[in-house]
Structure 1
Amino acid sequence: MSLRFSLMGPVRAWRDDEEIDLGPRQQRAVLAALLLNNGIRLSNDQLIGMVWDDPTPSAVMALRTYMYKIRKAVPELDLKSKDGGYTLRAEIFDDCRDEPLEGLSSTYFEAQRVRIGNERLQCREALLEREMDVLELQKHVAAFPLRERTRALLMQALYRDGRQADALEQFHQARALLNEQLGLEPGPELREVHAQILRGELNLARRPEQLPPGLPDFTGRTAEIALALRTLPRTVGITGMHGSGKTALATHVAHLAKHGYPDGQIFVRGKDIANELLRAVGVENPHGDKAALWREKARGKRFLVVVDDVHDPAQIAELHTPGSAMILTSVRRWNELPSVTWLKVAGLTEAEANEFFRKVLDPARADAEVDVTDEVLARISYLPNPIRVLGGKLTGRANWTVAMLLAQMKRETQLGDAIPSDCMAVLAPMIKAEQQLTEQGRHLLQCFARRDADVIDVCEAAEMSGADPGSIEYALEALADVHLIEPLVLGRYRLPHFVRMYFGWRAPVLTS
């Protein structure tokens, strides 16, 4: 059960989603005084002075009555009198929509209204400074035309967007307004921004927005998304075999979380991660210790960094900075990286795979052949990337049925240079994985595929491959590390259907 209070608008409280009746205005005023001093003990005299400007002797009895009714309405507060005073501890929710302390009119509440208003205004302006959104800055300047700081920010944002004349016009408007209403000239910050624009010397920090577009048909991964969002800003790692949708999941999570990282979002893939991060924030051709330089540039900022397809954990180990968040994707799980919460992804669930296939293909075509569709999806282990390719292939062949596609998949195929491009696209995850295997690993998978068994143990693997039983487990663990087999219990492994199908196709070519 959760209990929430709000001081924005009338004083209000909720128990879970149900609003609590807090009684008449003066009773709410007593509660508001306690909430404004959350965790601080207030004496009876202090509370009376806050609620009543000119209290009468009856105020003491009125206070006791109101405290009794507040305790009755919200017993969870455990609000008891101690040493002639009261202490309240509660969660206060600010929805930033209404004026605070509506209907409460004592001198104390008037002062608190001004204080809260100023704090909210400063928080809003700090957010505007981080985001530098022209439209939002224009709205704020229109609402508070005499605040020079936000006027200067608007000038910078306009200049950044190539609107130099509009930026200079903002200065002239501010100068005329200050002269007319206050008899003042613009302050030093506004004058300096104006001068820098005239000299062409206004340098603005680059705010990177590099996330790839999210996928409108993204499907599933509900538990993984929830865990990733709970973990950020601590580092999240996403691991899984080729074709399992690691990059799509990382991008999806990043789009959901990006509003909490107003200094920018950076997406990098490559061998020199630190160099790419520095380039993203405007540092060209950096020299020396690039990781240290990145930490310096990122200090005090809130960046969201996605590093796709990590091959060298040493490049990541020194890049994390407090306040910023990092999402990694990698086929291999790098256990040597500290403080990373790893999520393992494989195929979608059967239901999710069907849902995704129906998003890519006309749902009516999939629904007309439900059983055949299930078999097609099972043959590719419900992996998102092959599902997208197969759905797209059928979309481009209006006269094909799903059964025709399955028949083609079952046909014995000699893989080589003549493989059709659409088949190559479906098999791309396996082709890429095979290229990264040792000869021993390739041979083992070939043997497993010929055996056509779901589960293999160490002894069977040694017998089939002819390898030394003492060393075979190391080779099996290497395959498990890149998700081509799935570890069950010690010494036993499962071979995914898609892997078995691919290496079954490859075996005749490799052993001829």
Structure 2
Amino acid sequence: MSLRFSLMGPVRAWRDDEEIDLGPRQQRAVLAALLLNNGIRLSKEQLIGMVWDDPTPSAVMALRTYMYKIRKALPELDLRSKDGGYTVRAEIVDDCRGEPLEGLQGSYFDAQRVRLGEHRLKAREDWLERELDVLELQKHVAAHPLRERPRALLMYALFREGRQAEALDHFHQARALLNEELGIEPGPELRKVHAQILKGDLHLPRRPEQLPPDLPDFTGRDAEIARILDALPGTVGITGMRGSGKTALATRVGHLAKKRFPDGQIFVRSHDVANELLRAVGVENPSGDKAALWREKARGKRFLIVIDDVRDAASVKDLGTPGSALVLTSVRQLNELPGVTWVKIAGLTEQAAREFFGKVFDRGRIDAEPENAEVLLERVSRLPTPIRVIGGKLRARQHWTIGMLLEQMERDTKLGNAVPVDCAATLAPLISAEKDLSDEERHVLMCFARRDTDVIDIHEAAEMSGADPGAIEMVLESLADVHLIEPLVLGRYRLPHFVRIYFGIRSPALTS
């Protein structure tokens, strides 16, 4: 259930698609004051001062009454008095319906109307900068003739269409208007665009739009998405074993948050991250300190940057800038990076895994074999990538049941090196993970996978692998860092089912 509010026009609220009655004007004024300070605690005295210009003693009782009615109408806000004050955290949308805070009176709301109006104009001009639509820019300039930024953007757009004379004419119009109305000359932005057009060296701003397409069948991860969105802007790291859907999650978050970052979205999968960031904003073949040059180019901008499959901290160090967001994906949690909010993901929840399996396969065929479907999902530890592969395989085999696939998978685990192509596709995340393991780490996993237990401690691991008891903990911790085993309490580890399947069929010959 979604609750959202608008302050543009009358104060309004919706629960999903149904509008909510917010009561009389003063009650809506109390709610508006809270929403205008979204996430900030307001004392009762502050609220009264915002809603009433000249409050009487009865304002205290009136505030209590309005708060009671707001809580009753909007229980999702959890609007309870804490430390003598109130805080709301809500989704506020701009539905462009009219004058902000329409119908609300008082000096506080008058000032907020001006602020919200300016915010709306800036948001509109951010959109116009992205689109550079001549007709829309002409309408905006006509409505706000003294604003220089949209006039400069219109000159850009006209020049891009080969209408140089019209672009220069707009500069002279602006100059005459500013002189007549305000007695001033055009500002530096307009003068710069004018000079560049005269010289013929006007370069249009580059706005990168590099996010991969969002997956239409993306499923689950609601808690993780909420935590990441709450941490932006800033640096967020998504960590988990291969096949857990780190890139898909980062991409989903990018699409959900991109409107908050009007200067563009950049997607990087490279060892030379700084170089790729600079290329995204038009800097080719940079030299010297690339990280410093990037910070200079990004200063004052708001970019959303997804850096996929980060292998080491050095490649992303010192790339963060105020106002921009970094979303990192990495198998290892890079704890040496300061100020990162890390979010660890593994398999989907049982419900999300079933829902995703239904999207990539066939819900009717799943419902016909619910127990087999559950066994199959558990065999791959409910990881999204293997679920997608086995769902596609079953979809292509119209006469197969899930039980048949389980039977084939059981045979495949006994074939040793002769892993069929279909099985290898399912196991691809672990095949890739194995390449990064040392011989000792691989040996420990193979020994663990062949034991009839899911959990071992350090002493059992040393005994089964023949490793030195003093060194085995470092090996186990290294495997836990890449999520091939799960740390429980100190000194005890669990082996995921999917990892057991893969390393249980490995043989020494395969690792040579």
Distance in structure 2 (CA, Å) of the matches to 1:370 and 1:7: 48
User: What is the CA-CA distance between 1:322 and the residue it aligns to?
Assistant: 1.1
User: What is the CA-CA distance between 1:392 and the residue it aligns to?
Assistant: 0.8
**Which amino acid letter does the alignment assign opposite residue 123 of structure 2?**
L
Mapped contact 1:309–1:329 kept (Cα < 8 A): yes
Distance in structure 1 (CA, Å) of the matches to 2:123 and 2:398: 51
Q: Give the 5 Å matches for 1:37-76.
A: 74=66
What is the RMSD computed on CA atoms of the aligned residues? 4.3
Mapped contact 2:302–2:324 kept (Cα < 8 A): yes
Range moving further from structure 2, 122-131 or 457-466:
122-131
Range moving further from structure 2, 202-211 or 238-247:
202-211
Residues 471-496 of structure 1: CA distance to partner in whole angstroms, max 9, x if unpaired? 11111111111111111111111011
**Which amino acid letter does the alignment assign opposite residue 284 of structure 1?**
E
**Which amino acid letter does the alignment assign opposite residue 134 of structure 1?**
E
User: What is the CA-CA distance between 1:39 and the residue it aligns to?
Assistant: 5.8
Q: Which residue of 2 aligns with 1:163?
A: 161
**TM-score relative to the length of structure 1:** 0.78
Mapped contact 1:22–1:70 kept (Cα < 8 A): no
Q: Residue 476 and residue 219 in structure 1: after superposition, are their counterparts in 2 closer, same or farther (change >3 A)? A: same
Q: Residue 5 and residue 274 in structure 1: after superposition, are their counterparts in 2 closer, same or farther (change >3 A)? A: closer
> What is the aligned counterpart of 1:134 among 131, 134, 145?
131
Q: Residue 148 and residue 337 in structure 1: after superposition, are their counterparts in 2 closer, same or farther (change >3 A)? A: closer
Distance in structure 1 (CA, Å) of the matches to 2:485 and 2:467: 18
Q: Secondary structure of the residue that 2:251 maps to in structure 1? A: helix
Distance in structure 1 (CA, Å) of the matches to 2:411 and 2:396: 20
Q: Secondary structure of the residue that 1:241 maps to in structure 2? A: coil
Distance in structure 2 (CA, Å) of the matches to 1:247 and 1:104: 46
**TM-score relative to the length of structure 2:** 0.78
Distance in structure 2 (CA, Å) of the matches to 1:118 and 1:137: 27
Q: Which residue of 1 aligns with 2:24?
A: 21
Q: Which residue of 2 aligns with 1:396?
A: 396
Mapped contact 2:101–2:113 kept (Cα < 8 A): no
Q: Which residue of 2 aligns with 1:54?
A: none
Mapped contact 2:25–2:103 kept (Cα < 8 A): no
Q: Which residue of 2 aligns with 1:422?
A: 422
Q: Which residue of 1 aligns with 2:77?
A: none
User: What is the CA-CA distance between 1:313 and the residue it aligns to?
Assistant: 0.2
- Identity fraction in percent: 56
Mapped contact 1:452–1:500 kept (Cα < 8 A): no
**Which amino acid letter does the alignment assign opposite residue 414 of structure 1?**
L
Mapped contact 1:12–1:20 kept (Cα < 8 A): no
Q: Secondary structure of the residue that 1:295 maps to in structure 2? A: helix
Q: Which residue of 1 aligns with 2:249?
A: 249
User: What is the CA-CA distance between 1:358 and the residue it aligns to?
Assistant: 0.4
Distance in structure 1 (CA, Å) of the matches to 2:450 and 2:87: 65
Residues 218-267 of structure 1: CA distance to partner in whole angstroms, max 9, x if unpaired? 11111111111111112111111111111111111111111111111111
Q: Which residue of 2 aligns with 1:298?
A: 298
Distance in structure 2 (CA, Å) of the matches to 1:231 and 1:177: 42
Mapped contact 2:238–2:343 kept (Cα < 8 A): yes
Mapped contact 2:211–2:265 kept (Cα < 8 A): yes
User: What is the CA-CA distance between 1:124 and the residue it aligns to?
Assistant: 3.5
**Which amino acid letter does the alignment assign opposite residue 24 of structure 2?**
D
Mapped contact 2:155–2:170 kept (Cα < 8 A): no
Distance in structure 1 (CA, Å) of the matches to 2:104 and 2:345: 54
Mapped contact 1:415–1:506 kept (Cα < 8 A): yes
Q: Give the 5 Å matches for 1:78-477.
A: 95=94, 97-100=97-100, 102=102, 119-120=115-116, 122-131=118-127, 132-134=129-131, 138-139=135-136, 141-142=138-139, 144-145=141-142, 146-147=145-146, 149=148, 150-157=150-157, 163-165=161-163, 193=193, 196-197=196-197, 200-412=200-412, 413-414=414-415, 416=417, 419-477=419-477
Distance in structure 1 (CA, Å) of the matches to 2:469 and 2:93: 65
Distance in structure 2 (CA, Å) of the matches to 1:410 and 1:285: 53
Q: Residue 274 and residue 154 in structure 1: after superposition, are their counterparts in 2 closer, same or farther (change >3 A)? A: same
Q: Secondary structure of the residue that 1:311 maps to in structure 2? A: coil
Mapped contact 1:449–1:501 kept (Cα < 8 A): yes
Distance in structure 2 (CA, Å) of the matches to 1:469 and 1:223: 39
**Which amino acid letter does the alignment assign opposite residue 162 of structure 2?**
Q
Q: Secondary structure of the residue that 2:431 maps to in structure 1? A: helix
Mapped contact 2:247–2:308 kept (Cα < 8 A): yes
Distance in structure 2 (CA, Å) of the matches to 1:363 and 1:233: 39
Q: Which residue of 2 aligns with 1:486?
A: 486
Distance in structure 2 (CA, Å) of the matches to 1:344 and 1:321: 24
**Which amino acid letter does the alignment assign opposite residue 230 of structure 2?**
R
Unaligned runs of 5+ in 1: 49-62, 77-87
Q: Residue 266 and residue 134 in structure 1: after superposition, are their counterparts in 2 closer, same or farther (change >3 A)? A: closer
Alignment: residue pair count: 467
Mapped contact 1:239–1:330 kept (Cα < 8 A): yes
User: What is the CA-CA distance between 1:122 and the residue it aligns to?
Assistant: 3.9
Distance in structure 1 (CA, Å) of the matches to 2:217 and 2:48: 54
User: Which structure has the greater CA radius of gyration?
Assistant: 1
Mapped contact 2:100–2:116 kept (Cα < 8 A): no
Distance in structure 2 (CA, Å) of the matches to 1:68 and 1:225: 39
Distance in structure 2 (CA, Å) of the matches to 1:495 and 1:317: 33
User: What is the CA-CA distance between 1:7 and the residue it aligns to?
Assistant: 7.5
Range moving further from structure 2, 422-431 or 188-197:
188-197
**Which amino acid letter does the alignment assign opposite residue 405 of structure 1?**
L
Range moving further from structure 2, 421-430 or 64-73:
64-73
Mapped contact 2:306–2:328 kept (Cα < 8 A): yes
Q: Residue 362 and residue 194 in structure 1: after superposition, are their counterparts in 2 closer, same or farther (change >3 A)? A: farther
User: What is the CA-CA distance between 1:207 and the residue it aligns to?
Assistant: 1.0
Mapped contact 1:134–1:158 kept (Cα < 8 A): no
Residues 260-307 of structure 1: CA distance to partner in whole angstroms, max 9, x if unpaired? 111111111111111111111111111111111111111111111111
User: What is the CA-CA distance between 1:323 and the residue it aligns to?
Assistant: 1.0
Distance in structure 1 (CA, Å) of the matches to 2:11 and 2:392: 56
User: What is the CA-CA distance between 1:19 and the residue it aligns to?
Assistant: 1.9
Mapped contact 1:13–1:22 kept (Cα < 8 A): no
Residues 70-92 of structure 1: CA distance to partner in whole angstroms, max 9, x if unpaired? 5575479xxxxxxxxxxx99999
Distance in structure 1 (CA, Å) of the matches to 2:500 and 2:373: 19
